[in-house]
Amino acid sequence: MKQSQLFTKTRREAPKDEVAKNAQLLIRAGYIYKEMAGVYDLLPLGLRTFEKVVGIIREEMNKIGGVEMHLSALQSAEPWQKSGRWSDEAVDAWFKTKLKNGADVGLGFTHEEPLTALMTEQISSYKDLPSYPYQFQTKFRNEERAKSGLMRTREFVMKDLYSFSKDADEHQKFYEKAAEAYARVFERVGLGAVTYKTFASGGSFSKYSHEFQTVCDAGEDVIYIDDATKLALNKEVYDDPEVYKTTGVVKENLREAKAVEVGNIFTLGTRFSEALGLSYKTAEGKSESVFMGSYGIGPARVMAVVAELLSDDKGLVWPEEVAPFRVHLIELQSDNEEVSKEAAELYRELTEAGVEVLWDDRDARAGEKFAESDLLGLPLRVVVSEKTLAAGKFECVERASGHTSHKSISELIGHLTLR
């Protein structure tokens, strides 16, 4: 993509009402636009990064047997009434309205109920199990106070996977696979070193659930980390003696940290299957309720945490796997037409080699281009100028380390395609 074709522009200052670092940087760099508190638009660069995160999650869910689908956001009241979660007393985050015929509808904040209802037509025998449908779907939550930029919003996309198993043993085997897949996701997006599998309350579903918490000063949660096992406890279970027997961690060895929940996995058991009549026949002909689990990740929240933690005083610093483009090609304007020709040739060859390139072909000062390049945070800056033309090699600057090297076209392509 040519940068002259991007309609988005960078800003020197973030909106005065935006206090979250992730939102300030993403707005200034032209990745997102704030519609209102808790509601953001993804602009072209932001959408590319968001889709990179989605792609990583999708790959890992598919590896463990996930099958992608898409449910409606507009929800009939009936399945929620059956589970007891339609009333505002049970769930205080509903966005509700009425159809013109007077029927009550809501905008889904999660999808256990409608998917369980759907699966009553898909599952009838033990031969239909296990099943692992998942989706990337817009959720709506009427948060009393949306804050922390993209970390807590009123409208957001969630990856929610639901497991349907014959019994607790079959469920537990998949549950562990899901936990391992989550760890791979956070490793790939650049958060692996500071993200911990965290024991938390299972609520009404089970004794414990597991959150994946990323240590971050902007986080709303308090966790207690055991560095030896890389496990953590949420504050809500810190004083529960049973959790220490379950995990084997020693309370005296834990350190306290603020963190952001970037994912969670829950054992649901038979709560929803019993409420909505989801059962199957065993090999012996006996009727049993399907045993369920739920597994969520918010891609935009992951993107926000990466922006929060991996930025510096100049701007964003994207890891390669989630950067909107791999290379930021900076053409320094000159009266020498050969500079533009060389930039165009480099752009063509990199693109044909499968390298994603954002070409800054604009008529702007070098200092302005470099400052914007730092703010955008693409992994590698490649400069084409009269100086590099004379030298026969391009200046290459790694955004994360600041390391500078000089490479020919063939050396650059080799460097980028062999990794």
pLDDT in tens, 243-257: 999 999 999 999 999
Segment 318-332 mean pLDDT: 97
* Average pLDDT over the chain, rounded to an integer: 95
- The two tokens of residue 156 are 């957001």
pTM score of the predicted model: 0.96
Whether 126 and 156 map to the same domain: the answer is yes
Same domain, 178 and 246: yes
Residues 267, 394, single domain; the answer is no
Structure confidence by residue, pLDDT tens digits, 132-154: 999 999 999 998 888 789 998 99
**Residue 419: pLDDT over 70:** no
Do 252 and 368 sit in the same domain of this protein? no
User: How many Å separate Cα 192 from the centre of its chain?
Assistant: 13
Range of the domain at 409: 327-417
- Per mean pLDDT, which range of 7-21, 47-61, 302-316, 349-363 is the poorest? 7-21
The pLDDT assigned to 205 comes to 66
Could you read off the pLDDT of 256-285 as tens digits, one per residue? 999 999 999 999 999 999 999 999 999 999
**What pLDDT score does 204 carry?**
65
Separation CA 127–CA 26 (nearest Å): 48
Q: How many domains does the chain have?
A: 2
Same structural domain for residues 297 and 352? Answer: no
Give yes or no: residues 332 and 294 share one domain.
Answer: no
pLDDT of residue 366: 95
- Summarised one tens digit per residue, pLDDT across range 155-198 is 999 999 999 999 999 999 999 999 999 999 999 999 999 999 99
- Which pLDDT score is estimated for 72? 97
86 and 230 fall within a common domain: yes
Residue 386 lies in a domain: yes
Q: What is the CATH number of the domain that holds 70?
A: 3.30.930.10
* Pair (266, 384) in one structural domain: no
| Better-scored residue on pLDDT, 141 or 202 | 141
